[in-house]
Amino acid sequence: MGKPEFERLPVYQVSEKLANEIWRLVQDWDEFNKDSLGKQIIISADCIGANIAAGTVQEQQDNQQLVRQARGCLYETIHALRLAWNRKLITEEQASKIKPIVDELSAKLNAYLKSLGS
């Protein structure tokens, strides 16, 4: 059995990379921060790839909607990362590792949505 279609998509691969980086990041937080902002950021990051994956088995219009939802989840993740930065939960080194992934994913999501048509 081959890989599902979504696993071959570069946009999905980057979303998975971001979700895994965020998972590792949150592991070092104290219990209060893990239980509050940590859960929120993990769920929003995980939902990016989940929406991309779900869209690949849908009709074009539904796929487009799911990719838009993935983009919304990315924005939610960015918001949570900003909160984590402002609350001193993320170091400069961690931020510099995650930011290029976020930027790449944002560009790939927009390009993927555009490739699906209007």
pLDDT by residue (tens digit) across 37-95?
Answer: 999 999 999 999 999 999 999 898 999 999 999 999 999 999 999 999 999 999 999 99
For residue 4, the model assigns a pLDDT of 83
Q: What average pLDDT does the structure give for the chain? A: 95
118 pLDDT tier (thresholds 50, 70, 90): low
CA distance 8 to 13: 7
For residue 1, the model assigns a pLDDT of 56
Q: Is residue 11 scored above 70 in pLDDT?
A: yes
pTM of the predicted structure, to 2 decimals: 0.94
CA distance 80 to 100: 16
The one-letter code for the residue type at 81 is: L
Residue pair 66/54 in contact (Cβ under 8 Å)? The answer is yes
CA distance 33 to 42: 12
Contacts of 30 (CB under 8 A, 6+ apart): none
As to burial, measured by CB atoms within 10 angstroms (0-12 exposed, 13-18 middle, 19+ buried), residue 32 is exposed
The one-letter code for the residue type at 19 is: A
Q: Give CA torsion, residues 67, 14, 104, 27, to 10 deg.
A: 110
99 pLDDT tier (thresholds 50, 70, 90): very high
